[in-house]
Amino acid sequence: MSCSEDIKTVKLSNGKTAKVHTHLFINNEFVPGHGPLIETINPVNEEVICSVHSANEADVDAAVKAAHESFKNTWRKVAPSEKGRLLNKLADLMERDIDEIATLDALDNGKAFSVARDVDVTDSIGCFRYFAGWADKIHGKTIDTTFDKMCYTRHEALGVVGAVIPWNYPTMMAVWKFAPALAAGNCIVMKTSEITPLPLYKFAELVKEAGFPAGVVNIITGYGQTTGTALSTHPLVSKMAFTGSTVTGRKIMEASSTSNLKKLQLELGGKSAQIVCADADLKNAAVWACGGIFNNHGQSCNAGSRIIVHESVHDEFLKLFTEEAKKIKLGDPFESDTFQGPQISKGQFDKILGYIDIGQKEGAKIHLGGKRWGTKGYYIEPTIFINCKNNMRIMREEIFGPVVAIGTFKTVDEAIEIANDSEYGLAGGVYTKDLDTAIRVSNEVQAGTVWVNCFDVFDQSTPFGGYKQSGFGKELGKYALHEYTQVKVVKMLINL
């Protein structure tokens, strides 16, 4: 399909149609890109949705310079209260067009439309409103030093933020960066995943309608090795915010070190453990643990993909957990009762099936699933492995699919040791009725977030980020504002 014109009408799997932008969004205009055209694939039927323009080095440069000029001449001079008003206006427009944004999320990503609308986009709207409230409350302090001097601090915007987001939450991951960056007074150039660019171009349309000055928000797409590299090495970019794989995170760190020592925020991979203690409410644990791994088709960095169960309750928990997994409805994302759609791509589909094969060869036993679902689309059955040891690859490596590995433990000390025996540290969970155990495990597990008797629960006011090779820096909450500001100290001599 030619992309000579920006707006295309595309067909949904339910027979309806949607309009999509296919050009880059730079300086408040949709403009052609000069990189190769990229075909976006519908994971439901493996057919091409449309082709979108990608950004080459010159396009990236244009986007960064537009952001730089806007920051220097316009955005940093806009009153904080006005920034908050614009963020709230953007949230209002997203709420007005929630079905359209969710439709593009479901089309591009394959996730259930109901989940995209009621979770991803709804939470994104809440995120903008939360940070809109912070926009005029970012300030420093006066500090008493000596009698003849006045000292105060300023929390200043960084300038141009470069952001790279993954394909698993196309709208929500973007908003987690947009909202605090803009509230803190920065301009931004965001590279979408080349796999899921469509929802963010609809979002760009709303940015312009809301009245943001030109250059404040720029949205481009392209491949990591070209577009991403050009953005992460650009000398006018003051910070890179990245969500994605640990491998790519290392490359962005290298780019920072060889360019201008950009400030970095990296939210990377995970292999989160869910610990089910002997005294746990097993029914509750089964429900939450099931969501913890199978939400978003297992395509979540914080997915609770390792479940460690006390040996005395293993069989009962497994029975309840299996019952919950069997309730999962696979199908077309636009069917109202669908919970699990297809995996994102043929490459990810093949990778997950490869890990299922590896797990069997290593001696783990498939208790449920383990196969392709249907004959068309990148669907994989919810898969449960049992008899898993922590040295197995399916217990150590991020599969990023609907595959869970279940092992056992004898003591709480052993459970903590197993949970921490990982290069990752994004999240963890513990199910217990004992407060002492809950606090002890939460304190001892090496992870940025630990859920107790629940899992995968988020709120705009709660920071999120990892330990170890799961990255550093915090998304969400007041903590996120620190990632998008720098502190200046002013000392003034007073002539007495």
Q: Cα 65 to the chain's mean position, in Å?
A: 26
Task: Please give the C-alpha separations between residue 366 and each of 5, 211, 322, in angstroms, as whole numbers.
Answer: 49, 54, 12
pLDDT in tens, 186-241: 999 999 999 999 999 999 999 999 999 999 999 999 999 999 999 999 999 999 99
100: left (phi over 0), alpha (psi -120 to 50) or beta: alpha
Percent of the chain residues past pLDDT 70, beyond the cut: 99
In tens, the pLDDT along 265-274 reads 999 999 999 9
| pLDDT tens per residue across span 334-364 | 999 999 999 999 999 999 999 999 999 999 9
**Whole-number percent of the chain with pLDDT over 90:** 97
* Biggest distance spanned by C-alpha atoms of the chain: 84
**b/e code 449-466 from CB counts within 10 Å (16+ = b):** bbbbeebbebebeebbbb
Give the per-residue pLDDT at 495. Answer: 84
| pLDDT tens digits, 361-403 | 999 999 999 999 999 999 999 999 999 999 999 999 999 999 9
* DSSP assignment letter at 296: G
486 Rama class: left (phi>0) / alpha (psi -120 to 50) / beta: beta
Residue type, 351: K
> Tens digits of per-residue pLDDT, 8-49?
999 887 888 999 999 999 999 999 999 999 999 999 999 999
pLDDT at 4: 61
pLDDT digits (tens, 9 = 90+) for 66-80: 999 999 999 999 999
Give me the chain's average pLDDT, please.
Answer: 96
Note the pLDDT of residue 496: 72
Runs of H (alpha helix) within 97-216: 98-109, 113-115, 122-134, 172-183, 198-210
CA atoms within 13 A on the CB side of 387: 10
Instruction: List pLDDT tens digits, range 138-188.
Output: 999 999 999 899 999 999 999 999 999 999 999 999 999 999 999 999 999
All structural domains of the chain, each given as residue ranges with its CATH number in brackets, are 7-268+471-488 (3.40.605.10), 273-452 (3.40.309.10)
- The pLDDT value recorded for residue 3 is 52
Which residues are catalytically annotated? 267
User: Any residues with CB less than 8 A from the CB of 208 and at least 6 apart, and which?
Assistant: 28
Task: Report the distance separating Cα 344 and Cα 378, nearest Å.
Answer: 7
Taking the C-alpha atoms of residue 431 and residue 452, their distance in angstroms, rounded to an integer, is 6
So what's the pLDDT on residue 2?
40
